[in-house]
């Protein structure tokens, strides 16, 4: 890289934050991940960090939130590419039980979250936020609409460095 391009990259990184130094496509990410091994111990810290926030919604071996899937054995069903795609584009391939479900009550209240249960009388239980659940009696449900978006927000990697993402994926790959 020339001195001018290096200066330009440094200015872009300063203005745009860490994401400017990260790969910008799935293929570039895969090349980056394959170029050097990640550190699962550091990845465990990233998983639990405030920046990544994974532990707020995902459990590993009984610890963490319950809004998203339990990741204790994620490696059994997901290779590196699938893990990366889930982080880059959470709504691309989503299990229906983890889609964002929308409920409106007859009183005008709105709830958005994971549909945990639906009773024969129409009552619903929605998980939302960190470890919060709301039961809505059937007689108060005005509308209930399954969503097509993941509860996992877009842009999760924006606050992480490329090395932190590599370590996070190494950690997830170590779970069996």
- Domain boundaries in the chain? 24-93+152-174, 100-145
**Mean pLDDT estimate for the chain:** 87
Q: Which two tokens stand for residue 58?
A: 């995902």
Q: What is the pLDDT of residues 59-70, one digit of tens each?
A: 999 999 888 899
Task: Please tell me whether residue 29 adopts helix, strand or coil conformation.
Answer: helix
pLDDT tops 60 at residue 4 = no
| % of the chain surpassing 90 pLDDT | 64
Predicted pLDDT of residue 147: 86
Q: Residue 12 pLDDT > 70, yes or no? A: no
Q: What is the pLDDT of residue 33?
A: 96
The predicted model gives 129-156 an average pLDDT of: 90
Is pLDDT above 60 for 3? no
Q: pTM of the prediction?
A: 0.78
Query: What are φ and ψ of residue 113, in 5° steps?
Result: 170, -160
For 33, 46, 160, the CA distances from 50, given in Å and listed in that order, are 23, 8, 11
Please, which pLDDT band fits residue 2 given cuts at 50, 70 and 90? very low
Averaged pLDDT, 92-99: 86
Residue 93: the pLDDT is 87
Instruction: Indicate if the pLDDT at residue 98 is higher than 70.
Output: yes
pLDDT at residue 131 in the model = 73
pLDDT of residue 6: 39
Checking if the pLDDT of 35 tops 80, the result is yes
pLDDT score at 21 = 75
Other Cβ atoms less than 10 A from the Cβ of 37: the count is: 11
The encoded tokens of residue 133 equal 């659940």
Phi and psi torsions of 145, nearest 5°: -125, 120
> % helix / strand / coil in the chain, to the nearest 5?
45, 20, 35
Question: Coil, strand or helix: which one is 121?
Answer: coil
Q: What percent of the chain has pLDDT over 70?
A: 88
Please give the CATH topology (third level) of the domain spanning 24-93+152-174: Cytochrome Bc1 Complex; Chain D, domain 2 (1.10.760)
CA 58 to chain CA mean position, Å? 9
């Amino acid at each position: 890289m020339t001195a001018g391009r290096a200066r330009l990259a440094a200015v872009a990184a300063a203005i745009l934050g860490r994401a400017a130094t990260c790969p910008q496509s799935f293929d570039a990410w895969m090349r980056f991940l394959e170029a050097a091994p990640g550190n699962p111990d550091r990845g465990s810290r990233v998983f639990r960090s405030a920046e990544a926030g994974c532990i707020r919604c995902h459990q590993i071996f009984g610890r963490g939130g319950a809004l998203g899937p339990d990741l204790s054995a994620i490696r059994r069903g997901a290779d590196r590419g699938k893990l990366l795609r889930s982080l880059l584009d959470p709504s691309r391939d989503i299990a229906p039980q983890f889609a964002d479900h929308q409920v409106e009550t007859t009183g005008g209240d709105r709830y958005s979250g994971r549909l945990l249960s639906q009773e024969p009388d129409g009552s619903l239980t929605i998980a939302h936020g960190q470890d919060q659940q709301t039961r809505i009696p059937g007689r108060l449900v005005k509308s209930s609409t399954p969503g097509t978006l993941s509860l996992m927000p877009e842009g999760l990697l924006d606050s992480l460095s490329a090395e932190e993402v590599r370590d996070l994926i190494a950690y997830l790959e170590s779970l069996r």
